Chain A
C-alpha cells in the first residue's frame, strides 16, 4: 500500500509537470471533440494524431493519446443527448433517454448528469486501476472464449429490457441486427457470406455507420414531415442544472454503472462496447418504473454513460498489467508506446515506472479537466439547438458523411450509413426502436467467433460451457432471469411489456 502511494506520488510529480499537463489537456480537448463529431470515434482520433506524437517523449505521447480515448467517452454523450446522433457505438443507449429528456426541455440536465456520471466512473476506474491492476489482470485472463460466450448470451437475455416497445418488436429488431451481423468472412472457414463481391463487406457491416444512420440520419429525415418545436431557445442557467430529484434518481445508477462498466471493460475482446447496453438493461430491470425508460428516464442516461467511461478505464488494466490489448484502441496505444521504444509487456511498471505511474496519475488529472471542460460548456452546447434546423441539419449530415468515411476511408461505409438513414426513418414511422438492432449487430460477430472458438477448444463438446466455473455461473444467471420472466408469464401477471403491447394494439385499432 505504502509502495503504491510512493509510486503514485512519483506519478503525480510527472503528471503535474506543466508540459505534461498541457498534453493531457490537449488530449482531453481533442477527445471531447472527437467524441462529439458523429462517426469519428476514439480509434480514428488516435490514429490521426499518432504521427503528431513522434516528436514527443513516450510519457507525453501516451498521456495525450489516452486523453483522447477517455475524453471521447465524455464527448460522445453530447450529440446523443441533444440530437440523437451517437458519436460512437458506446453512446447508442444514451440516445434514447437522453434525447427524450432534451425533447422535454431537460437536455441541460441530461448533459450535466452525463458529465458528472462520467467523472465519477472515470475516477473510480483509475482508483481501481491504481490499487488492484495486477490481480484484476490475472482475473481478466480467465475470460477465454467460453466465458465471453456466456457473457454475450447474458447480453442477449438482457435484450428484452432494451427497448420502449413491446417484446415482439424488440426481438424482431434484434433478429434483424443479428442477421446483419452474419455478413462477412466466416472466421473459421474463410467463406465470404452475403458480401456480394464487395471486399469491404468482408469484415462485416460496421457498427458506426449503422448507428449513425439509424439514429442520427433517421431522426433528421423524419423531421421535415412533422411540425418542429424547438422548446429550448433561451435556456436559463437554473434550467440547465439537474433538479434535486434528478440527482437522487441518478446516484445509484452512476454507482452501479461504474462497477459494472469497469468489470466488463477489463475483459479482453472488445467487451467494453456492450457495457453501456448491459448497464441500460440492468437499470431497467432494477427500476420501479421500467415503463419510464425510453421517455426520458434519468437512470437511462446516468447508468450507460457511467458504464462506458468506467469500461474505457478498465480496458487499460490488461494493457498496463499484462501488455495485452483489450480492443483496437488499446492496440493502437500499445503501438504508440512501441514506436517510442517502450515494448509494452508485464514489465512496463518495473522498467519504466515514470511512464506507467505518470500515465496513471495523468488520468486522475484528466478526468478533473474533462469535468471542468464539459460542465461550463453545457449551456453552449444546448444553444446549438437554437440554430434553425434548415442550417443545422445539412451541416450535421456533412459531418456524419465525413466522419463515417474517415474511420476506414471506405465509401461503402458511407453508402451503408445513407441506406441505414432511410431504414431509420422507416422504423421511426412505424414505431420500431433501432437500439435492439444495433445491439444485435454488435453481438452477432463476437458471439459467433467466441462460440466457435470455444467449440474448437473443446473439440466440439458443449460441456465446456458448464465445466468452466465463470461461464457456468453466467449461464446460470441467464437461466434464472429467463425463469423469472417465465414465472410471471405463467402467473398471467401483466408486466410493463404486456402493457406496451396492449398500448400498441390500441393505437392501431
Chain B
C-alpha cells in the first residue's frame, strides 16, 4: 500500500485554515479603563535570559501580585543585546499599565553607549516611569584563590607595578559587571585588561579557571564560591558593610567615593495614566511587605530594599549619573 500524488489544493486549504484558526486564538484585548485596572493579565517584560537577575525577582513578585489584584501577571522573556531589546520593547509598548518592565542597574547605560558611538539612542531613561526599586545588592570585588592579594591595597600595588598585566573578567562590554570595575579602575588610576564574556556565569568561570584574576560580582552570585574559598573578597561597593561580609571593607572606607548596586526595579512606559501608576505603587508596596516575597528574596540571597516612586526616582537619578560616568570612562574600545 502506498499513497502517491500531489498535494491537492482543497486539502491544503483545510489544513492551512485549521492552523490559522489555532494561531489566532490568542487573548482578546478590550479597552482599558484606569479606574478598574487591572481587568486582564498584566505582562512584565524580563529583558534577560530565564533565570537571570530580573527573572528571579520578577517571578516571586508576580506570584504575590496575582493574589492581590486577582488577575494573572505574566513574565515574558525578551532577552537580547544585554537587556536593550526588552527595554526598547517596553518603551514602545502601549502605556496602559498592561505592559511593565523589570530591569536592572544597566538600564541607565544604553543611551550613553549609543551617544558614545554617535548613534541616536533608541530609548532613554525618560521613556520610563519608575515605580519601585525592589532589591539592591551591593557588588563585591573578588580575586581568585591563586592570587596572593589579601587586601585591596596589595592588589592595587601589584596592578600599579605591572600595568596591563592583570586581567579582569566581566559579563560583557558596558555590562552590569563591567561598569563598577571601570569606576574603580578610573578612581585608582590603574591599567587592568578587560576580558568580556557572555554573561555573569562565564565571567565567574573565567575567574575560577584563572583566565582572569579579578571580577566585580554581586554578593549573591559569588557567595557559593566565597564560602568554598575559591575566590576572596577584597572590597564592597555598598555605602555600609554588607551583613553577610562583615569583615570586608567598603570602597568608601578605603578612600574611593564609589557606590554600586545591582538593583532590580519595576518600570512602566512613559504616558501610563497616573491612576494606574498609583495603583501599581500601592500593589507593589503591599507585595514587598508579604512574608512570601521576603522569603523568596532570602532564598536568592537578597534583602528586600524597597524604595517607593519618589525615593526611587532620586536614587535612580544619582545612580544613572554614576553609570553614565562609568560608560564615558570606558570610552570607545579600539578593537
Per-residue contact bits, chain A 81-96, to B (CB 8 Å; 1 contact, 0 not): 0000000000000000
Q: A268-B202, A388-B3, A408-B78 are in contact. Are A395 and B15 (CB under 8 A)?
A: yes
Residues of A with C-beta under 8 A to B228: 323, 345-347
Stretch at the interface among A10-18, A167-175, A184-192, A211-219: A184-192
Which of A417-463 touch B at CB < 8 Å? 449, 452-453, 456-457, 459
Closest A residue by C-beta to B212: A457
B204 is an interface residue with CB less than 8 A from chain A: yes
Residues of A with C-beta under 8 A to B173: 187-190
Residues of A with C-beta under 8 A to B332: 189-190
Q: A200-B85, A453-B197 are in contact. Are A47 and B19 (CB under 8 A)?
A: no
Closest B residue by C-beta to A187: B196
The answer on a CB contact under 8 Å between A394 and B199 is: no
A134 is an interface residue with CB less than 8 A from chain B: no
Closest B residue by C-beta to A405: B23
B194 is an interface residue with CB less than 8 A from chain A: yes
**A446 to B335 Cα, complex, angstroms:** 17
Q: A46-B50, A344-B224 are in contact. Are A338 and B300 (CB under 8 A)?
A: yes
Stretch at the interface among B4-12, B93-101, B135-143, B263-271: B4-12
B161 is an interface residue with CB less than 8 A from chain A: no
The answer on a CB contact under 8 Å between A346 and B224 is: yes
**A186 to B81 Cα, complex, angstroms:** 11
DSSP majority for the B interface?
mixed
Residues of A with C-beta under 8 A to B194: 456
Residues of A with C-beta under 8 A to B220: 338, 343
Cβ-defined partner of B81 (8 Å) among A185, A189, A336, A449: A185
Cβ-defined partner of A343 (8 Å) among B205, B223, B230: B223
Per-residue contact bits, chain B 31-74, to A (CB 8 Å; 1 contact, 0 not): 00000000000000000011110011001100100000000000
Closest B residue by C-beta to A391: B15
Residues of B with C-beta under 8 A to A143: 209
A286 is an interface residue with CB less than 8 A from chain B: no
Residues of A with C-beta under 8 A to B84: 199, 202
- A216–chain B nearest beta-carbon distance, Å: 15
- Interface size, chain A (Cβ < 8 Å): 77
A325 is an interface residue with CB less than 8 A from chain B: yes
A375 is an interface residue with CB less than 8 A from chain B: no
The answer on a CB contact under 8 Å between A457 and B211 is: yes
Residues of B with C-beta under 8 A to A144: 206, 209, 211
B243 is an interface residue with CB less than 8 A from chain A: no
Which of B136-195 touch A at CB < 8 Å? 164, 167, 172-174, 193-195
Q: A343-B301, A391-B15 are in contact. Are A190 and B117 (CB under 8 A)?
A: yes
- B76–chain A nearest beta-carbon distance, Å: 6
The answer on a CB contact under 8 Å between B206 and A203 is: no
B198 is an interface residue with CB less than 8 A from chain A: yes
B321 is an interface residue with CB less than 8 A from chain A: no
Range of interface residues on B (Cβ < 8 Å): 35 or more
The answer on a CB contact under 8 Å between B19 and A395 is: yes
Stretch at the interface among A225-233, A248-256, A293-301, A308-316: A225-233
A331 is an interface residue with CB less than 8 A from chain B: yes
The answer on a CB contact under 8 Å between A398 and B19 is: yes
Residues of A with C-beta under 8 A to B55: 335
| Residue from A47, A233, A324, A344 with most neighbouring chain B CB atoms (10 Å) | A324
Residues of A with C-beta under 8 A to B196: 187-188, 453
Residues of B with C-beta under 8 A to A46: 50
Residues of B with C-beta under 8 A to A408: 77-80
The answer on a CB contact under 8 Å between A227 and B11 is: no
**A268 to B204 Cα, complex, angstroms:** 11
The answer on a CB contact under 8 Å between B300 and A459 is: no
A3 is an interface residue with CB less than 8 A from chain B: no
Residues of B with C-beta under 8 A to A459: 164, 193
The answer on a CB contact under 8 Å between A200 and B80 is: yes
A51 is an interface residue with CB less than 8 A from chain B: yes
The answer on a CB contact under 8 Å between B6 and A339 is: no
Closest B residue by C-beta to A338: B300
Which of B308-335 touch A at CB < 8 Å? 332-335
A497 is an interface residue with CB less than 8 A from chain B: no
Residues of B with C-beta under 8 A to A328: 49
Cβ-defined partner of A145 (8 Å) among B22, B211, B224: B211
Closest A residue by C-beta to B225: A345
**A223 to B55 Cα, complex, angstroms:** 42
The answer on a CB contact under 8 Å between A341 and B78 is: no
Closest A residue by C-beta to B78: A409
Closest B residue by C-beta to A191: B117
The answer on a CB contact under 8 Å between B225 and A43 is: no
Cβ-defined partner of B80 (8 Å) among A50, A333, A345, A410: A410
**A388 to B7 Cα, complex, angstroms:** 8
Residues of A with C-beta under 8 A to B113: 190
Residues of A with C-beta under 8 A to B80: 199-200, 202-203, 408, 410
A141 is an interface residue with CB less than 8 A from chain B: yes
**A231 to B194 Cα, complex, angstroms:** 59
**A388 to B174 Cα, complex, angstroms:** 53
Residues of A with C-beta under 8 A to B211: 144-145, 453, 457
The answer on a CB contact under 8 Å between A331 and B209 is: no
The answer on a CB contact under 8 Å between A234 and B81 is: no
- B65–chain A nearest beta-carbon distance, Å: 13
B115 is an interface residue with CB less than 8 A from chain A: no
Cβ-defined partner of B4 (8 Å) among A227, A343, A401, A452: A227
| Residue from A331, A348, A401 with most neighbouring chain B CB atoms (10 Å) | A331
**A20 to B196 Cα, complex, angstroms:** 40
Which of A341-375 touch B at CB < 8 Å? 341, 343-348
Residues of A with C-beta under 8 A to B81: 185, 199, 202-203
The answer on a CB contact under 8 Å between B224 and A187 is: no
The answer on a CB contact under 8 Å between B227 and A345 is: yes
Cβ-defined partner of A331 (8 Å) among B5, B22, B23, B49: B49
A500 is an interface residue with CB less than 8 A from chain B: no
The answer on a CB contact under 8 Å between B195 and A457 is: yes
B201 is an interface residue with CB less than 8 A from chain A: yes
Residues of A with C-beta under 8 A to B298: 341
The answer on a CB contact under 8 Å between B12 and A394 is: yes
Residues of B with C-beta under 8 A to A231: 2
User: 25 pairs across A/B with beta carbons < 8 Å?
Assistant: A187-B196, A190-B173, A202-B80, A227-B6, A228-B3, A228-B5, A228-B7, A229-B3, A233-B2, A268-B209, A269-B198, A322-B208, A332-B49, A334-B51, A334-B201, A335-B55, A341-B300, A347-B227, A390-B11, A391-B15, A392-B15, A395-B15, A398-B22, A398-B23, A457-B167
Query: Apart from A341-B298, A408-B79, what 8 extra A-B contacts exist at CB < 8 Å?
Result: A51-B75, A230-B3, A331-B199, A332-B50, A343-B301, A345-B228, A408-B78, A410-B85
Query: A-side interface residues toward B, CB under 8 Å?
Result: 43, 46-47, 50-51, 54, 141-145, 185-192, 199-200, 202-203, 223-224, 227-231, 233-234, 268-269, 318, 322-325, 328, 331-336, 338-341, 343-348, 388-395, 397-398, 401-402, 408-410, 449, 452-453, 456-457, 459
Q: Which 7 A-B pairs have the closest CB atoms?
A: A345-B224, A335-B51, A390-B11, A202-B81, A47-B50, A394-B15, A341-B299
